[in-house]
Amino acid sequence: MSIKLKSKSRKKKKNNSLLILLVISFILLAGLGAAILSLSRKAADLEMREKELESQIELELKKADTFREQEKYRQTLKFVEEIARERLNLVFPDEIIVIPHE
């Protein structure tokens, strides 16, 4: 009889240890799954942010090109003439200004 009791006791301990191992495995897998979901969401957010930043970079590069073109134009004599005529109301010495009566 004592052999049967020991055998039952061993089976019970073995079943208990298997149950504990199963519970621990389940908890670890649940934690791992949650971590994977969290990282995949974060990766998706970072990819979206990267695309936004790339589009902003392209926009800023276009603006920089426009500013460079404006800077080149502002260094020309034609631009200086336009500003002198429009803002300062200056004329060349050999020009005649005709002002119509209203």
**Domain limits at 34?**
2-86
What is the value of pTM for the model shown? 0.53
CA distances from 26 to 20, 29, 31, 32, 61 (A): 10, 5, 9, 10, 52
Q: Is residue 91 part of a domain?
A: no
Q: Count of domains in the chain?
A: 1
Q: Is residue 94 part of a domain?
A: no
Q: Is residue 51 part of a domain?
A: yes
Q: Is 90:84 a contact under the CB 8 Å cutoff?
A: yes
DSSP string across 6-41: HHHHHHHHHHHHHHHHHHHHHHHHHHHHHHHHHHHH
- For the segment 70-99, the average pLDDT, to the nearest whole number, is 89
Q: Is residue 82 part of a domain?
A: yes
The per-residue pLDDT for range 2-53, each reduced to its tens digit, is: 555 556 677 777 788 899 999 999 999 999 999 999 999 999 999 999 999 9
Q: Is residue 38 part of a domain?
A: yes
Q: Is residue 98 part of a domain?
A: no
The per-residue pLDDT for range 49-77, each reduced to its tens digit, is: 999 999 999 999 999 999 999 999 999 99
Q: Is 49:55 a contact under the CB 8 Å cutoff?
A: no
